[in-house]
Structure 1
Amino acid sequence: MIKKLVCLGDSLTEGLGVSKVAAWPALLQAQLRIEVINKGISGDTTTGMLGRFYSDVIMQSPSHVLIMGGGNDLWWDVPINVMLANVYAMVKQALHHQITPIIGISSAGFNPAKMDASTVWEPIGGYEKLCEAGQHYANQLKQMARTNAWRVVSLQDLFLQGEGTVDHSFYEGGDGLHPNEKGHKKIAQAIAESLMNQAMVSS
């Protein structure tokens, strides 16, 4: 059972565009009545997450860690094998320190709206490649988790409508990347339900 959870990630975990109390880790803490520590950093990559894993996760002595990143790696066209290796290394560090890892698969990188090039870099490989790589990364991450019997929480299709298009009402400014308060509530609910279904928290 989860007693203390560290959420390690990027802007989607940090809660870019919303207040800390409205970000999904804070909402999850209130909903499940467990201690949840938000260690999301906007713009971070899986390499950055690996680099701070000891200080941000192990030194916190949690019972569990939710590792969810990769959106920025995809944006910069980082090889998927590098991303998988980084996640694998983080999981192995967690297990070595008796911390139960949970692999998070976010909604980032699958169907983002095209951003204003004057305010943000466009994906290095273009939007089409970004979406294709995002799907491939998610599939490979799920396969790696299945092979190693790791827990998974997937948000991949959370904001998609029936016809497979993105519901931009859940996003900050409609950018298709950063959830607004409504989106963070949906994420918190989805993660809570997934953890309860996996019997990791009491209902």
Structure 2
Amino acid sequence: MAAKANAQDWANLKKYQNENAALNPVELGQKRTVFMGDSITEFWSVLHPEFFTNKPYVNRGISGQTTPQMLVRFRADVITLKPSLVVIMAGVNDIAGNTGPSTLKMMADNIFSMAELAKANQIKVILCSVLPAYDFSWNKGSFPAQKIAILNAMIKNYADANKILYLDYYSAMVDERNGMKAQYSEDGVHPNKAGYEVMAPLAEKAIAEVLSSK
């Protein structure tokens, strides 16, 4: 029964349904920012909640999600919230095969489609790098490091070509194996508090830059 229910809500549109409905309208002069992503985004509010405190930031990360799932829920979890800006970080779970095989082009196309949906609705966009990972604890032997580097290059090229800010967390967190530096993660994939403390000022700087631009 649970599996059937999950299949019926493949993109997990129910997760934030009540929170979206209860979210206060954007106040005059306020510039809401929505963070769209997977567990790396979702757990940011858990491990480093102060980043979100007293700011017009809305976390819409869902653990385990892939880019097609995010694309399906993008209207409900981003556009309808009427933000000024969306910060998109996605792709690592596609590389891990969480919802089946996927090419790098398929992943990139889904990310670019989210960006284009946002821009069509007058929402500014930040495209984030995928964080470094040498291997996945839940899918060992997949050695994602090279795929992550290629996907990041694809995202950066698209961002540059479309005048979108590319937020490079990767360079600040990568080690000599092209995995994540040990001090920033317990499992080599998800940031710990120290990892989020590296990401936070980079995100704040990017958000300020994009929101101040015309």
Fold-level similarity (TM above 0.5) = yes
Which structure has more RCO (C-alpha within 8 Å, separation ≥ 6)?
1
Which residue does 2:12 correspond to in 1? none
Measure the CA separation in 2 of the matches of 1:27 and 1:87: 28
Tell me how large the CA RMSD over aligned residues is.
Answer: 2.5
In the alignment, structure 1 segments of 5+ residues that lack a partner are none
Whether 1:22 aligns to 2:33 is no
User: TM-score scaled by structure 2?
Assistant: 0.76
Measure the CA separation in 2 of the matches of 1:21 and 1:150: 28
Aligned residues of 1:2 and 1:201 also touching (Cα < 8 A)? no
- Secondary structure of the 1:37 match is strand
Measure the CA separation in 2 of the matches of 1:182 and 1:122: 25
What is the CA deviation profile of residues 66-111 of structure 1, one whole-angstrom value per residue up to 9, with x for unaligned ones?
011000011115201111111111111111111111111131xx33
2:129 maps to amino acid: I
Counterparts in 2 of 1:188 and 1:46: CA distance versus 1, 3 Å: same
Whether 1:10 aligns to 2:38 is yes
Counterparts in 2 of 1:27 and 1:42: CA distance versus 1, 3 Å: same
Equivalent residues in 2 for 1:1-203, closer than 5 Å: 3-15=31-43, 20-23=45-48, 26-30=49-53, 34-76=55-97, 77-107=101-131, 110-113=132-135, 115=137, 120-122=138-140, 126-127=142-143, 130-160=144-174, 166-171=180-185, 174-196=186-208, 198=209, 200=211
Measure the CA separation in 2 of the matches of 1:46 and 1:86: 6
Aligned residues of 2:85 and 2:211 also touching (Cα < 8 A)? no
In the alignment, structure 2 segments of 5+ residues that lack a partner are 1-28
Between Structure 1 and Structure 2, how many residues are aligned? 182
